[in-house]
């Protein structure tokens, strides 16, 4: 998808450098100390999402993997600091493929990364167990981008997925909104309205996932996958790498099984495929089941994002 130039309003931001909203947009003010605590440096309090769902200490696994030391303080920047840095900067680009957003793995090897979004909210909080079982049957690893409210609605399933080495967990936002500093929408879905709301969308779920996983998520995908080039920098400052895709595997879980199969078979070396795991009645599971053996027989391997992204 092409990026769309956005006329600058105030001081401009050079090109460098990602989603469904709900009307209750209360700010979540998170201090530097809170963010450091969330990264594993002490006790973490409850986080509140846009619909006031809370995460309690009982949600935290009794044993947690150690947080990698190079990512201990990656989100150690406050909401106020983000607003000070970016509050008066106008975006100049908008889309799903911007500088600073990864859409392909940096390799020529015949590898494909399957990624699946769990969107929640108006986009459904279901769990496609058939899809997960397909991946397990073929022993295919994947990266799962989980929204804050999907996790709250499927906590037991989340725990099972988080302890399965086939899967790694990415951040799919707090209220699943396009990542914008001007309220720009995608597919009729209003985005975050300013730098502070971008912080809320990324950091609140980052903290929730850090609490549950015992280590911070490395990757972020905005709702609708759309972002502007100011929001990409904010996400980077919060320690998350924005990852989109070059293969749209199920068109938001609207493709038939045959369409999913055909789309995934277009993968090239280094492709990142997007699908959805919150729509169990879609054709995603069946299409993925059909495509995996064909790609494997063509010499492709399936990998998690972390195997090729820093």
pLDDT tens-place string over residues 248-301? 999 999 999 999 999 999 999 999 999 999 999 999 999 999 999 999 999 999
Question: H/E element holding 284?
Answer: helix 284-297
Q: What percent of the chain has pLDDT over 90?
A: 73
Q: What percent of the chain has pLDDT over 70?
A: 75
Q: Does 1 reside within a domain?
A: no
Structure token digits, residue 297? 């027989």
More confident residue, 295 or 63: 295
Q: What is the DSSP string of 167-234?
A: EEEEE--SS---B-SS---BTTB----SHHHHHHHHHHHHHHHHHHHSS---EE--GGG-EETTHHHH
pLDDT of the residue at 73: 37
The DSSP bridge partners found for residue 104 are: 271
pLDDT of the residue at 124: 76
Q: Does 4 reside within a domain?
A: no
Q: Which residues of 31-43 are buried (b: 16+ CB within 10 A; e: fewer)?
A: eeebbebbbbeee
Number of separate domains in the chain: 1
Q: Does 127 reside within a domain?
A: yes
Distance between CA 126 and CA 133 in Å, rounded? 15
Condensed to tens digits (0 to 9), the pLDDT of residues 134-190 reads 999 999 999 999 999 999 999 999 999 999 999 999 999 999 999 999 999 999 899
Distance between CA 151 and CA 121 in Å, rounded? 11
Whether 239 shows a pLDDT value over 60: the answer reads yes
Beta strands per DSSP E along the chain: 4-5, 11-12, 89-90, 93-95, 101-102, 111-118, 142-146, 167-171, 219-220, 227-228, 241-243, 247-248, 271-276, 301-302
Distance between CA 284 and CA 261 in Å, rounded? 8
Q: Which residues of 244-265 are buried (b: 16+ CB within 10 A; e: fewer)?
A: bbbbbbbbbbebebeebbebbe
Locate tokens 């983000």: which residue? 82
Collapse the DSSP code of 1 into the 3-class scheme (helix H, G, I; strand E, B; otherwise coil) and give the result: coil
Average pLDDT rounded to a whole number, residues 106-130? 92
Torsion angle (degrees, nearest 10) of CA 145, 151, 157, 158: 60
**Confidence class for position 75, pLDDT limits 50, 70, 90:** low
Structure token digits, residue 12? 């401009």
The CATH number of residue 234's host domain is: 3.20.20.370
Q: Which residues of 221-239 are buried (b: 16+ CB within 10 A; e: fewer)?
A: bbbbbbbbbbbbbbbbbbb
Of 281, 245, 53, 280, the C-alpha closest to 152 is 53
Structure token digits, residue 229? 């080039």
Q: Does 5 reside within a domain?
A: no
Q: Does 64 reside within a domain?
A: no
Distance between CA 146 and CA 280 in Å, rounded? 15
pLDDT of the residue at 236: 96
Q: Does 24 reside within a domain?
A: no
Q: Does 62 reside within a domain?
A: no
The parent domain of residue 276 ranges over 10-19+29-56+70-307
Distance between CA 193 and CA 122 in Å, rounded? 19
């Amino acid at each position: 998808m092409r990026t769309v130039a956005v006329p600058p309003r105030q001081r401009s931001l050079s090109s460098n450098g990602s989603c469904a909203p709900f009307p209750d947009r209360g700010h979540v003010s998170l201090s530097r100390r809170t963010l450091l605590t969330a990264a594993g440096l002490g006790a973490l309090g409850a986080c509140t999402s846009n619909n006031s769902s809370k995460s309690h200490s009982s949600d935290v696994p009794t044993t947690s993997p150690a947080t990698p030391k190079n990512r201990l303080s990656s989100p150690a920047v406050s909401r106020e600091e983000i607003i000070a840095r970016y509050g008066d900067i106008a975006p100049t680009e908008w889309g799903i493929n911007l500088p600073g957003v990864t859409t392909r793995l940096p390799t020529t090897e015949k590898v494909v990364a399957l990624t699946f979004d769990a969107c929640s909210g108006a986009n459904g909080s279901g769990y496609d167990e058939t899809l997960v079982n397909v991946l397990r049957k073929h022993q295919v690893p994947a990266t799962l981008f989980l929204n804050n409210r999907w996790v709250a609605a499927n906590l037991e399933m989340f725990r099972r997925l988080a302890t399965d080495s086939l899967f790694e967990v990415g951040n799919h936002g707090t209220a699943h909104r396009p990542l914008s500093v001007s309220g720009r929408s995608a597919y009729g879905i209003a985005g975050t309205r300013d730098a502070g709301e971008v912080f809320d969308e990324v950091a609140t779920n980052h903290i929730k996932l850090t609490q549950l996983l015992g280590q911070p998520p490395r990757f972020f995908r905005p709702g609708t996958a759309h972002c502007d080039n100011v929001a990409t920098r904010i996400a980077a400052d919060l320690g998350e790498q924005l990852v989109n895709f070059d293969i749209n595997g199920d068109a938001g879980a609207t493709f038939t099984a045959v369409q999913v199969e055909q789309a995934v078979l277009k993968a090239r070396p280094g492709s990142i495929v997007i699908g959805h795991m919150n729509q169990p009645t879609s054709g995603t599971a069946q299409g993925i089941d059909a495509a995996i053996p064909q790609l494997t027989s063509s010499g492709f391997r399936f990998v998690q994002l972390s195997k090729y992204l820093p």
